[in-house]
Structure 1
Amino acid sequence: MESKYKTQEEKYEYISKQHGGYYRHNFTDHAYLYNLYFPPREVINHLKDNIDNLVLNYPMAQNALAELISDIIDQPTERIVVGNGGAEIIKILSGRLAKKIIVPVPSFNEYANAAPEGQAVEFPLEFPSFQLDVDKFADEAIKVGADMAVVVTPNNPTSMLVPKSDLIRLSEKLRKHNCMLIIDESFLDFANNKEQISLEQDIEKYPNMAILKSMSKAYGICGLRIGYLLTANLDFSKSVRNGVHIWNINGFAEEFLRILPQYKHEFEDSCKIVKADRDVFYKKLCAIDGMHVFKPDANYIYCRLPDTALSGPEVTKRLFIEHNIYIKDSVGKTQPDADRYVRIASRTNEENAKLIEALKNVMYVKG
């Protein structure tokens, strides 16, 4: 891989164009958002021990995969669609099913990117708070004739939750206008009081609602590519299921789902550690003079750089070149002053402390 670049600056230019495979390049990744404390070594060893069968045999198809997710989330299989990561399901929702989709921005770009040209509407979050006014959002969805609306909670990149009561009110307003509400809960396991704020167990009350979850983030399995959609609207789940091919999940992912219920306590404990590390990290970022730090509900933190500091892209590049640490700037997100914002994934306390010192070192022009 070193043949792809000769200098640290060339390495940065190469990495900044990639969408994965970071582990091959020897730097500290504060960009991608996943649980560093799960899965436990026993899970990896189990997959190793079964590698012959997992490589040589066909995996199961959609109905059987839905049964495995059903065992994890305690929902009927007919409500579940299993995807090759959340991205496969997003492609079906935005690219095939929605005639007009509305998405608050800034948010995860793929919902808008996957839609055919002219079929995605971007709704700006309140600025500078980045809060979602669900009543204004509902009004805009109705005005533009959207048949699908998306809310990511906690949002990416802002790491902020949308209150459950707001989402219920939004669903009820949209229902009268035949608009499906997609709630992306991919990062909800890192929020406090998850059981009280998730709509997963209330899904049967809201026929125009679907929950989307990428399991890569919370379960630390980005390479296995598993996501699922849950809805009590069986016509909708059938339409989504019709968009996936028969063997869309590989044997390693299938086996992971099969054994996952055995590790429920380990998973819950891992999320507690992630949250504890994040909370310490948040306090340290808040102590940087002039930095505006948004209180996080996920495992990453959104920051507005001090007005006198370098821009987000400049800070990101210097951090990588001088300290071999990679974060994400917000250029490319639809928002005001995008070049003043950065998103930083929380890692271990030691790595977070190193990033704080490195960030303070690169934020300003050196005299």
Structure 2
Amino acid sequence: MIVPEADNKEQQFDAIEQMHGGYWRHDFIDHAYLYNLYFPPERFFKQLTSQIHELVLNYPVAQNVLAGLVGTLIAQPAEQIVVGNGAAELIKIVSGHLAKKLIIPVPSFNEYANAAPTENIVEFVIEAPSFQLDVDKFAAEAIRNKADVAVVVSPNNPTSLLVPKVNLLKLLKKLAGHDCMLIVDESFIDFAQDRDRETLEDEIANYPNLAIFKSMSKAYGICGLRIGYMLTANTLFADQVRNGLHIWNLNGFAEMFLVHAPEYQQEFLASCDLVRADRDQFYQNLCSISGFTVYRPDANYIFCRLPDHAPSGPEVARRLFVGHNIYIKHCQGKTMRESDRYIRIASRTQNENRAVAAALKKIVAVEKLS
């Protein structure tokens, strides 16, 4: 939906709050959506435009070729990969059609629960102030509810906290004898400090009850191309998900990205280094705001609790937009206690991050004085 220009910033904020994308059409600084600003390189766009006639006029390739392209990129067998029109397409199949009882820690990425019938969802509350997942309690709750699918997003959204690999392996072992698939969503793992040590990709062959979901939009900065994939050694589960796709579920532009992505691996790794550096400096900037509780991030966004004297999360988001033309996500509506006291801020460039921190400091200081 294209939102017409509002008469004033207050009305524009209300309109943007109802949108799901399309932000680039509006003149504000987007600290809400979570993507890599430093990728893909400019030469990819030149490759894309040089073949735009062929891409528009011809059918794209089908699932088996797409799986091979992703397999080349991540060094995994194609038969263990299912490629979706974004991870959202795969989530819809699993949550909406395959899972009979799905358990997920909350707060987390809402789509896993939103895509499922309400009666099929079990929410496991991660308690403040740590927001750390207790895998023993989570496994016990999954088993008690006879869940056939459990989901863990790591790093989590909105908390930006990683669940250590050792804990996830423990969880896999606990669920293994109870016919429960564990989906680990690693969409933000490339921004973690120890990505290679924390990813479960090299454990796929050892755990038939494991599936890794990955939205490529975030790490690769290609939100508009809509590419996601599932990686699993469970051939039955892979076939069930694959059967839910239509024959041409990705378009030629997404195919072209996958064809050329291996050429850009060094640039991709360098871009993730830049994202981490900006994020770490942003974390320090936010920690300087009196009264803020700032969670040390593992992804490219930062989760904060506002001080008690500050306005609510929705009000802070509104003031940032109206007064500073900056848009962030507040957490009101997330399944968590005091959700209106929390905000999530995407890291952008260091200059933009400094501007957010300075604006937040002013908003909090003014409220404290009043």
C-alpha change, 1:87 and 1:321, in structure 2 (3 Å) is same
Q: Tell me which amino acid in the other structure corresponds to 2:84.
A: G
Q: Tell me which amino acid in the other structure corresponds to 1:249.
A: L
Q: Tell me which amino acid in the other structure corresponds to 1:15.
A: I
Q: How does 1:140-219 map to 2 (within 5 A)?
A: 140-219=141-220
Contact 1:70–1:77 under 8 Å retained in 2? yes
In 2, the alpha carbon distance for the partners of 1:30 and 1:4 equals 20
In 2, the alpha carbon distance for the partners of 1:329 and 1:2 equals 21
Partner-residue secondary structure (3-state), 1:18 = coil
Contact 1:107–1:156 under 8 Å retained in 2? yes
In 1, the alpha carbon distance for the partners of 2:114 and 2:145 equals 18
Aligned to 2:329: 328
Aligned to 2:19: 18
Q: Tell me which amino acid in the other structure corresponds to 1:104.
A: P
Contact 2:3–2:15 under 8 Å retained in 1? no
Q: How does 1:70-85 map to 2 (within 5 A)?
A: 70-85=71-86
Q: How does 1:264-343 map to 2 (within 5 A)?
A: 264-343=265-344
TM-score normalised by L of structure 1: 0.99
Contact 1:27–1:326 under 8 Å retained in 2? yes
In 2, the alpha carbon distance for the partners of 1:235 and 1:3 equals 47
Q: Tell me which amino acid in the other structure corresponds to 1:280.
A: Q
Cα-to-partner distance string for 1:310-330 (whole Å, 9 max, x where unaligned)? 110100001101111000000
In 2, the alpha carbon distance for the partners of 1:175 and 1:337 equals 35
Instruction: Please report how far the alpha carbon of residue 213 of structure 1 lies from its aligned counterpart in structure 2 after TM superposition.
Output: 0.1
In 1, the alpha carbon distance for the partners of 2:285 and 2:358 equals 10
C-alpha change, 1:140 and 1:348, in structure 2 (3 Å) is same
Cα-to-partner distance string for 1:258-311 (whole Å, 9 max, x where unaligned)? 000000000000000000000000011011000000000000000000111111
* Percent identity of paired positions between Structure 1 and Structure 2: 61
Q: Tell me which amino acid in the other structure corresponds to 2:65.
A: A
TM-score normalised by L of structure 2: 0.98
In 2, the alpha carbon distance for the partners of 1:49 and 1:248 equals 23
Partner-residue secondary structure (3-state), 1:118 = helix
Q: Tell me which amino acid in the other structure corresponds to 2:235.
A: L
Aligned to 2:246: 245
In 2, the alpha carbon distance for the partners of 1:2 and 1:358 equals 26
Q: Tell me which amino acid in the other structure corresponds to 2:359.
A: A
Cα-to-partner distance string for 1:174-216 (whole Å, 9 max, x where unaligned)? 1110000000000000001211110112200000000000000
Q: CA RMSD in A?
A: 1.0
Contact 1:185–1:213 under 8 Å retained in 2? yes
Cα-to-partner distance string for 1:137-171 (whole Å, 9 max, x where unaligned)? 00000001100000000000000000101100101
In 1, the alpha carbon distance for the partners of 2:4 and 2:363 equals 27
Instruction: Please report how far the alpha carbon of residue 362 of structure 1 lies from its aligned counterpart in structure 2 after TM superposition.
Output: 2.1
In 2, the alpha carbon distance for the partners of 1:189 and 1:77 equals 21
C-alpha change, 1:179 and 1:287, in structure 2 (3 Å) is same
In 1, the alpha carbon distance for the partners of 2:223 and 2:323 equals 28
In 2, the alpha carbon distance for the partners of 1:127 and 1:5 equals 38
Instruction: Please report how far the alpha carbon of residue 5 of structure 1 lies from its aligned counterpart in structure 2 after TM superposition.
Output: 1.2
The count of residues paired between Structure 1 and Structure 2 equals: 367
Cα-to-partner distance string for 1:228-251 (whole Å, 9 max, x where unaligned)? 000000011000000111000000
1:98 aligns with 2:96: no
Cα-to-partner distance string for 1:14-72 (whole Å, 9 max, x where unaligned)? 11100001000010000000000000100111101110011000000000100000100
Aligned to 1:57: 58
Partner-residue secondary structure (3-state), 2:157 = coil
Contact 1:126–1:133 under 8 Å retained in 2? no
In 2, the alpha carbon distance for the partners of 1:234 and 1:77 equals 11
In 2, the alpha carbon distance for the partners of 1:206 and 1:64 equals 25
In 2, the alpha carbon distance for the partners of 1:13 and 1:46 equals 38
Contact 2:187–2:219 under 8 Å retained in 1? yes
Partner-residue secondary structure (3-state), 1:176 = helix
Instruction: Please report how far the alpha carbon of residue 4 of structure 1 lies from its aligned counterpart in structure 2 after TM superposition.
Output: 3.9
In 1, the alpha carbon distance for the partners of 2:54 and 2:202 equals 35
In 2, the alpha carbon distance for the partners of 1:3 and 1:234 equals 47
Aligned to 1:135: 136
In 2, the alpha carbon distance for the partners of 1:201 and 1:69 equals 15
In 2, the alpha carbon distance for the partners of 1:51 and 1:43 equals 12
Partner-residue secondary structure (3-state), 2:141 = helix
In 2, the alpha carbon distance for the partners of 1:42 and 1:305 equals 42
Contact 2:155–2:189 under 8 Å retained in 1? yes
Aligned to 1:348: 349
Q: Tell me which amino acid in the other structure corresponds to 2:191.
A: F
